[in-house]
Every structure is written in structure tokens, then in C-alpha cells.
Amino acid sequence: MWEHYRGTFKGIQAVIALAVIGVYLLLGRHWDLAALFFVVMELASLVGAAWAAKLKVRLAKDAAALPLRPVS
């Protein structure tokens, strides 16, 4: 999980920063709402990294079962 998180860290943080700035400006400059949005986005990035790591393991396991061999 941490490998995937480290690999996507810079890009995800840039997207989160832009989203939080947008929320701050669009919702009337309420820093508390922007901070809540920031926390939710950070938690979602951790959950997404864990899910991606689990999916990667599952796909690798499925790929090991292939290729199909013709029946003689």
C-alpha cells in the first residue's frame, strides 16, 4: 500500500490542494469547511491506496493462473 501511496503522492496532493482551494473560494471563504474537506480527501487517498494495493495483488494472482492451455 505504501509503495502505491508514495508513487502517487505528489499528483494526489496537487489535486487535493486545488480541490481544497476551490472549495474554500466557492463556499464563501469558510476555512473550517475547507479543512473538513481536506481531511476527508486525505482519508480517501489512504483508503484508495489500500484498495489499489489489494486490487494489484488480486490481479497478479489471477494473471498467474493464465494462460489457458489447449486440451490435448
Condensed to tens digits (0 to 9), the pLDDT of residues 26-69 reads: 989 999 999 999 999 999 998 988 898 888 888 887 666 656 66
Residue 42 covered by a domain: yes
Domain assignment present for residue 44? The answer is yes
How crowded is residue 21: how many other Cβ atoms within 10 Å of its Cβ? Answer: 11
1 in Cβ contact with 53 (< 8 Å):
yes
Domain count, the chain: 1
Predicted TM-score of the model (pTM): 0.69
- CA 42 – CA 20 distance, rounded (Å): 11
Q: Is residue 52 part of a domain?
A: yes
50 within a domain of the structure (yes/no): yes
Report if residue 68 sits inside a domain: no
For residue 2, being part of any structural domain is answered with no
Q: Residue 37 in contact with residue 23, Cβ under 8 Å?
A: yes
Cell of 29: 471563504
**Is residue 25 a part of any domain in this protein?**
no
- 59 DSSP assignment: H
Q: Is residue 69 part of a domain?
A: no
Which of 41, 55, 34 lies closest to 12 in space, CA to CA?
41
Domain hosting 48: range is: 31-56
